């Protein structure tokens, strides 16, 4: 049995990871200041974890959470491209300084490996598809720049201090515990919420922008593979399904799944948004043993059902 620390473990992805680790029988610690995370996301496992309610911006405060830990799965961050455009300093303080603190604390505590949650946004305006890890990153938002900086710090800590790190570039993750109510919410929970309320979902642009959407269970599996794989230290990997859909197609799929028939509303493109995204996941397959188990359509059905249940029992759940 290994001891895992999940930073941001009360958030969307972190809570799904924590739940899977508990199910496996590992010792689980969660570090979260509950700024964007929710205690409700830990419902059902709260007695099986140890919660450290601390902020990664405070290095000394987070050190105790790292003592005796084997693996750190670093999910804590200020998400959202629009938020970073509005507040680049706040995004950097959490995503860059906070990540540096996590790496320092992990190094000093003798942690075996840190898995860093990065983002496909680092590819930015590079038009080539699919996205491969060997491409030159071209971030076009402060959020993307903060994630690329985190990757650089992770690689440097492996080279300089021997702390094993693996960075995972997530592509448009969705699923249970993703909050549709936040002003910075991701597209799928927003669209599902709108359709369930009989409202027209708003698409920024013409709707032909495409994304490699990945159900959260795939990302959970990727984190566990990245922590335990014999190889991959100091490297970066794409985590997605290796297929893409447009936002117009997304609305059509959701209308079918939810039994609705609502046309989207179109608005002006947003600054910092990437037009197309598609991952080459061959490196993650070969080195980490990652293989997505749930495809986009199946994931949409699972997510829509969860949102429907959560809505009926009053959000959040």
* List 4, 143, 158, 307, catalytic entry: 143
**Residue in the block written with tokens 């300089």:** 160
* Alpha-carbon distance values, 143 to 116, 186, 273, 308 (Å): 15, 14, 11, 30
In angstroms, the CA 82 to CA 77 distance is 14
SS3 157: helix
SS3 169: strand
Beta carbons of 246 and 210 less than 8 angstroms apart = yes
* Side-chain half-sphere CA neighbours of 296 within 13 A: 20
* Cis ω for the linkage preceding 261 (within 30 of 0): no
Beta carbons of 317 and 40 less than 8 angstroms apart = yes
In angstroms, the CA 293 to CA 90 distance is 35
Tokens of 216: 């959260």
Strand-pair partners of 3 = 27
In angstroms, the CA 27 to CA 49 distance is 7
In angstroms, the CA 315 to CA 221 distance is 26
Q: What is the DSSP string of 95-124?
A: IIIHHHHHHHHHHHHT-SEEEEEEEGGGGT
> Residue 143 catalytic?
yes
In angstroms, the CA 90 to CA 112 distance is 30
Tokens of 157: 């800590």
Tokens of 273: 């948004």
Q: Catalytic residues, which ones?
A: 143
């Amino acid at each position: 049995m290994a001891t895992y620390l999940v930073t941001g473990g009360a958030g969307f992805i972190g809570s799904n990871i924590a739940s899977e680790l508990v199910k496996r029988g590992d010792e689980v610690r969660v570090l979260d200041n509950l700024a964007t995370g929710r205690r409700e996301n830990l419902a059902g496992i709260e007695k099986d974890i140890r919660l450290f309610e601390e902020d990664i911006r405070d290095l000394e405060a987070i050190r105790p959470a790292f003592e005796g830990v084997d693996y750190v799965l670093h999910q804590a961050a200020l998400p959202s491209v629009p938020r970073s455009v509005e507040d680049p300093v706040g995004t950097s303080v959490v995503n860059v300084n906070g990540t540096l603190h996590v790496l320092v604390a992990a190094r000093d505590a003798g942690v075996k490996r840190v898995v860093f949650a990065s983002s496909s946004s680092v590819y930015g305006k590079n038009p080539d598809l699919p996205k491969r890890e060997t491409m030159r990153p071209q971030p076009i938002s402060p959020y993307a720049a903060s994630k690329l900086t985190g990757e650089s710090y992770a690689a440097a800590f492996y080279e300089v201090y021997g702390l094993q790190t693996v960075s995972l570039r997530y592509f448009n993750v969705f699923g249970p515990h993703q909050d549709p109510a936040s002003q910075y919410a991701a597209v799928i929970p927003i669209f599902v919420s709108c359709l369930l309320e009989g409202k027209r979902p708003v698409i920024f642009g013409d709707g032909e922008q495409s994304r490699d959407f990945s159900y959260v269970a795939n990302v959970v599996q990727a984190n566990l593979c990245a922590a335990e794989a014999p190889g991959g230290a100091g490297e970066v990997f794409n985590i997605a399904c290796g297929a893409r859909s447009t936002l117009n197609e997304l609305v059509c799929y959701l209308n079918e799944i939810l039994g609705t028939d609502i046309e989207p509303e179109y608005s002006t493109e947003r600054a910092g948004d990437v037009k197309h995204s598609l991952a080459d996941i061959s490196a993650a397959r070969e080195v980490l043993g990652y293989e997505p188990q749930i495809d986009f359509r199946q994931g949409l059905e699972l997510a829509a059902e969860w949102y429907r249940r959560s809505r009926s029992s009053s959000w959040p759940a």
